[in-house]
Structure formats: structure tokens, C-alpha cells
A and B are shown apart, each in its own frame.
Chain A
Amino acid sequence: MDARRTDAERITDVSNRPARNRDGTSWATALFAMGLAVLAGTLAAITIGPFPVTLSEILSALVRLITGAQDPSHAQVDTVLFSVRIPRVLAALLVGAALAAAGTVYQGLFRNPLVSPDILGVSTGAGLGATLGIFLSLPVIAIQGLAFVTGMATVALVYMVATAVRGHEPTLVLVLAGVVLGALAGATISLIKVLADPYDQLPAITFWLLGSLASVKPDELWTTIPAVLIGLIPLVLLRWRMNLMALGDEEAAALGIDPRRLRILFVACATLMTAAVVSISGVIGWVGLVMPHIARLIVGPNFNRLLPAAMLMGAGYLLAVDTLARTIAEIETPLGILTAFVGAPVFLWLLATGRRSW
């Protein structure tokens, strides 16, 4: 009531504020620039490493790959590029883009710019599966599979609990159910850590929970990319309707969409993407929280351009962080640590610049 009264008093006082015109070509230019930057970063990241490779070597290796020519004198370069470095760079791009896309969706669905892809417990759930897999000394592929399944299952459980508790604001119940079940999964992870072999299993669990792309194999990419695409395609197709979801259920429904069904679909897609990438990378925080946020500052909240912008920024960011992770020190630095060290100050800076709307 008070807000309404002050609004009425200020009906004409906003003319002195600067207009922020985003309907021009500026956002298209921004998207194009982001795309170029990610491309340049990708090439640069492939050249960097303990075994430096020049751009022309990359080019000739790609030509050899396409033509199928065998050249024993370049076998070492080919191995480094195609078995190690390019898969890892691609994994960084994929994981970053998927986490940022999922974060964008969740922030819109929950009408809250401070929401991360883990809001419904997908990462914690996946962490539980991976921890259990490591504890049971399962092979790597089984650990990843288990992480994927428990990640999806946690969110499904959260959704069922939220549906069972009727009569409240649906998104609020969903978030609270996510918090509760996430806490439960976290406690179970801690229990397994206590029980785990402290010399062999515990370090593996700890590293998994901090995230790393060091051990990503080329064939893991071939199973993850389709899963991410299956999650992404409905988001791209329904991108305009995502804008209406951010207005709240009643208004969205009055504008002619079915918010309940769309929410299930969007949550399923975002969860699928997150679970798929987390199962190969481990838990990586901050990307899905901060990147959609910065992308929104640049191209605005319209999902049609926010989604590609956030994905490009997520891909570029995780590529940069992962390149740091593998070059900054003798040993691999866990990604979760670096994303937080870089992401937290950026986020604080965003808060401090004092924007009242996102």
C-alpha cells in the first residue's frame, strides 16, 4: 500500500533517469562479440599447456584428422591434442554453457536473480551418487552413471514432495523442499566421507566434490553432449514462454500459457543438463549463478537473447578458469575453488554497484 502511494506521487519523476535502450542492435553486437571471444579463447586454450602447441600445428593436425592422413612424425602432437587437450577444452565449454543455461532457467522460474542450478538439489544429489560410487569402489563409468541418476532422482523427489504439499505458493514450496532434501543428501555425503578409506577414497571424494575436468575422456563427451542437447532443445524452442514464467503463475496463465506444465518441463530440462555435466565434472559452483546474472546486465532479461548470452559467457568463463586450473600450479587446482575465488568477488562487486533491478 505504501509503495503504491509513493508511486502515485512520483508518476512523472522518472524522466531524468537515463533510458537504457536494448531494443537496438547493441545486443546483437554483444552476442557476436561474445561468440568471437569464446572462439578466440578456445584456440588460445588449446595452445596453452605443459606441451605448447602452435596455431599452425593445430590447423595441420585438424587437416590430418579430417583427411585421415597418417604421419608418425606428428603422433605426439596428435595424441596431446585429440586425446587430452581438445576433449578437455570442449568439456569446459560444454559444462560452462550447460550450467549457465540451467542457471538462467532456474532464475527465471523462481523469479530470483540469486538462484543457482543447485537450488533443487541436483548437484548435491549427484554428489551423493558419486560419493557412494567411489565408496563402493565402482568403475569410473558407473560412478558417473550413479551421479547422473541420483542427481535427477533428487530433483524428481523434490518435485513430488512439493506437489504433495498443496495450498502454498508453488515455487516457494519447491525451493524449501529443495533445501531440505539437499541438506539430507549433504548429510549422507558427510556420513559416507566419515566411513570412507581416508587414504584412498576420501581424497577422491573430496576432489570430486570440488570439481575437475582433468580426467575427462573423449568418449565421455559423446555421451554428455546428447544429454545436454536434449535438455537444451526445448529451452530454445520455448524461449519466449520462459519470459512469461518470470511474471508469476497467475499472470502467465492469464496471458495464455500453462505455467504448471511448463515449469515441470523447464525444471526437467535444466536438471537433465546439470546432472549430465556434473556427472563428468564434479560439483562446480558459481558458474550457473553469476554468468546468467552478468549476461542479463549486458543483453537484458529477454530469454531469447539471455539464453545464448549466458551460455557463451558460461562457456568462456569455465574455459578460462579451467585453463588456469591446469596451468597455475604443478598440481591440478580443483575448479570449484577457482570458480568461487573468481566468482565471489565479481558477485560482490555486482552487489556493491547497487543496481536495484536485475
Chain B
Amino acid sequence: MTVLEANEVGFGYPSFPVGRDVDLSLAPGEVLCLLGPNGCGKTTLFKTLLGLIPRHAGRITLDGTDIKRLARSEIARQIAYVPQAHTAVFPYSVRDMVLMGRTAHRGLFASPMQSDGEIADRALETLGIAHLGPRDYTRISGGQRQLALIARALAQETPLIVMDEPTASLDFGNQVLVLRQVKKLAAAGLGIILSTHNPDHVFICGTSVIAMEAGRTKASGPPVDVLTPALLSAVYGVDVRVEILSDGTRVCAPGFDSAA
């Protein structure tokens, strides 16, 4: 049982603070969503949680151990990182990209073995992109690249996954596919923290949510309690209504006719 905990974390770049006083915890089976406008520091916070950039203040622990004391390979066996879909410089095959997720499980001088290949193939199959395996990562669409990066995180076989806007470059169908996958992984016992621009996604898969504004926590807790029309309107600066569908699902709708 792996728990990621952050207490009063300040984060940012050297001589450029982005945010402070962020508290969060992530346990297996949970889906913690980060919601907030562009530039509020979600990606920077993620990189800080992963120990990729040094934190400015506070404490980040993995199972009680400060991540500063952990080797990169130890962190990588506990938390996988799904960055925003990007283009690679070199045309690695999608399967090779996924295989890179196995690195932390193998020795310093090792190359992936056959068992790693099987794990990579399973991850590709799970996301329904087994057919992309031999293709060049540089020659698939942005949405397919996003799915490949999620497959890589699965191949990393970590109890926790950090996903930076996993639905950002996906079409409607693939967004649903990824959210469904997130729910399935959480049900299987993984802890997932993800950022999104769509409050509906939080209602779909989130067990808890942190609404961020300018690098600080504005509100946190269960989505139903936190994502009120008042809070959403305040965070995004536009009028937002929350409607409850007949099956109980909550959806957000912008209001256009109110005199702003």
C-alpha cells in the first residue's frame, strides 16, 4: 500500500515561485483530480511531486519516506508519470517507447527482456492500441501518442500514476476511453492523480478534487461537495451551472445569457 503525501508544499522554478501551501494525499484506489485555469501551476506541481524539480517548501513523502531520500529508480517503481502528449525527436517505435517504462525494473546495464516485451504488449492491448506497436511514435496522431504514454505508465507497473492532462489532446470518444481506463485502474487498486480542464471529467472519475487558483488550493474534497456552481464560476471567471441528469451524473454547462 503506497501513499503519496504532500504537506504545505511550495513549488516553482529557481527564483520563480509558482505556488505554495498545497496539501494532498493519494492512496491506492483513489482518483485525485486537479482542476484549475491555465497557468495555475498544475504541471509544475506534478513535477515537484515526482521530484523532477526541487520543491521550495513543505514535505513530500512516499510511504512516509521523503522523496528527496529516494533514488530516481525507487521513485519510478512507485509513481509513473504521463506527461502531456509531445512529439519525440527520434522515431522510436511505439513499442520501444512503452518498453522504456520497464527501465526502472531492470539493472543498470540491462536492456528489456522478453518478459518486458510481454508486459509492454499487454499494456498496449489494454489501451486498445496493440496495432500501433511497430509504428513510429513520431508518425501517429497526438491522441494516439497520449494513449501510448499511458501504456508506458502501465508497463512501469507502479501503484501510483501521475497524469498531466491525459484527455487534453483526445477526441470525444478517446476522452471517454481514457476516463474509463482511469476508473478501471483505480478499481484495480491503483492511485491516480490527474489534471484536467473539464469539470465533467472530475464528476465521472474523481474520488476527490483539488480546485487550484494561482498556485494555491482554493477548495478540496469530494467532487460533489467541492464543485459547486459558485466555485466553478469563481475559478474560471465565467458563469457555470451544474445539472444533475436523470441517472444521477452531474454535468457542467456554461451560462451565456446571464448579464455578466
Residue ranges of A at the interface with B (Cβ–Cβ < 8 Å): 3-4, 6-8, 10-14, 17, 19-23, 108, 111-113, 166-167, 237-241, 243-244, 246-247, 250-251, 253-258, 296, 300-302, 304, 356-358
What is the distance, in angstroms, from B260's C-beta to the closest C-beta of chain A?
A: 25
| Neighbour of A4 across the interface among B52, B110, B136, B169, CB < 8 A | B169
- Select B139's contact among A17, A239, A254, beta carbons within 8 Å: A17
The smallest beta-carbon distance between A250 and chain B, in angstroms, is 5
In the complex where A11-B174, A256-B75 touch, is A241 in contact with B14 (Cβ < 8 A)?
Answer: no
Please give 13 more A-B residue pairs, beta carbons under 8 A apart, in addition to A241-B103, A258-B71. Answer: A3-B142, A7-B145, A8-B170, A14-B139, A237-B108, A240-B111, A254-B83, A255-B104, A256-B72, A301-B90, A302-B93, A302-B96, A358-B90
Partner of B101, one of A166, A255, A304: A255
Q: Once the chains bind, are B135 and A20 in contact (CB under 8 Å)?
A: yes
Determine the main DSSP class of B at the interface with A: loop
- Which one, A17, A255, A302, contacts B156 given CB within 8 A? A255
In-complex Cβ contact of B72 among A17, A22, A108, A258 (8 A): A258
**Across the interface, which residues of B come within 8 angstroms of A17, CB to CB?**
139
A11 touches B170 (CB 8 A): yes
Chain B 2-41 near chain A by CB (<8 Å), digits 1 or 0: 0000000000011100000000000000000000000000
Knowing A8-B142, A19-B134, A302-B92 are in contact, say whether A254-B111 is a contact too (CB < 8 A): no
B96 neighbours in A (Cβ, 8 Å): 243, 302
The answer, among B50, B51, B141, for a CB contact under 8 Å with A10, is B141
Q: Which of B51, B92, B100 contacts A255 (CB under 8 A)? A: B100
Partner among B15, B52, B75, B93 whose Cβ is within 8 Å of the Cβ of A250: B52
Question: Is B194 an interface position by the 8 A CB rule?
Answer: no
A17–B140 Cα distance when bound, in Å, is 9
Complex-state Cα separation, A320 to B111, whole angstroms: 33
A351 to chain B minimum Cβ distance, whole angstroms, is 16
Q: Would A20 and B89 be within 8 Å (CB), given that A7-B141, A7-B169 are in contact?
A: no
Contact B103 A11 (CB under 8 A): no
With both chains docked as a complex, state the minimum distance between the C-beta of A2 and any C-beta of chain B, in angstroms: 11
B73 → chain A closest CB, angstroms: 4
The answer to whether A8 touches B169 (Cβ under 8 A) is yes
Chain B 108-141, CB-CB to A under 8 Å as 1, else 0, gives 1111100000000000000000000111101111
A357 adjacent to B138 (CB under 8 Å): yes
CA distance A296 to B138 in the complex (A): 14
* Residues from chain A with Cβ under 8 Å of B50 in the complex: 253-254
A241 neighbours in B (Cβ, 8 Å): 103, 108
Query: Chain B residues with Cβ under 8 A from A250's Cβ?
Result: 47, 52-53, 83
Give Cα A113–Cα B86 distance, bound, in whole angstroms. Answer: 18
Taken together as a complex, chains A and B put the C-alpha atoms of A300 and B93 apart, in Å, by 8
CA distance A280 to B82 in the complex (A): 47
Task: Say yes or no: B110 contacts A240, CB within 8 Å.
Answer: yes
Bound-complex Cα distance A243 to B100 (A)? 8
Q: Please measure, in the bound complex, the distance between the C-alpha atom of A4 and the C-alpha atom of B123, giving whole angstroms.
A: 24
Q: State whether the Cβ of B144 lies closer than 8 Å to any Cβ in chain A.
A: yes
Digit string of B55-69 for contact with A (CB within 8 Å is 1, else 0)?
000000000000000
Chain A proximity of B44: nearest CB distance (Å):
11
Q: Given that A7-B169, A13-B141, A239-B111 are contacting pairs, would A257 and B93 also be in contact in the complex, using a CB cutoff of 8 Å? A: no
Query: Cβ of A357: which chain B residues have Cβ within 8 Å of it?
Result: 90-91, 136, 138-139
CA distance A302 to B100 in the complex (A): 11
Between A and B, 19 residue pairs with Cβ closer than 8 Å are A8-B170, A11-B144, A11-B174, A14-B139, A14-B144, A20-B91, A20-B134, A23-B95, A240-B110, A240-B111, A243-B92, A254-B50, A254-B80, A254-B83, A255-B103, A300-B91, A300-B92, A302-B96, A357-B91
Docked-complex contact A257 and B73, CB < 8 angstroms: yes
We find that the number of chain B residues with CB closer than 8 angstroms to chain A is 54
Q: From residue 151 to 208 of chain B, which have CB atoms closer than 8 A to chain A? A: 156, 168-171, 174
Is B85 an interface residue when CB atoms closer than 8 A count as contact? yes
User: In the complex, what's the smallest C-beta–C-beta distance from A251 to chain B, in angstroms?
Assistant: 6
Given A3-B142, A11-B141, A304-B111, also A240-B95 (CB < 8 A): no
Report the Cα distance A111→B88, complex, angstroms: 9
In the complex, chain A residues whose CB is within 8 Å of the CB of B76: 254-256
Bound together, the chains give a CA A30 to CA B103 distance in angstroms of 27
Closest 6 pairs (CB-CB, A-B): A7-B142, A256-B104, A256-B76, A301-B90, A254-B81, A357-B138
Residues of A near B134 (CB, < 8 A) are 19-23
Complex Cα–Cα for A247 and B14 (A): 23
Distance (whole angstroms) from the CB of A244 to the closest CB of chain B: 6
Instruction: List A contacts of B170 (CB < 8 A).
Output: 8, 11
Q: Which residues of B lie under 8 Å from residue A246 when comparing CB positions? A: 88-90
Most-contacted residue by chain A among B83, B91, B135 (CB, 10 A) = B91
A11 B171 Cβ-Cβ under 8 A: yes
CA distance A17 to B141 in the complex (A): 11
Query: What is the bound-complex CA distance between A241 and B101, given in angstroms?
Result: 11
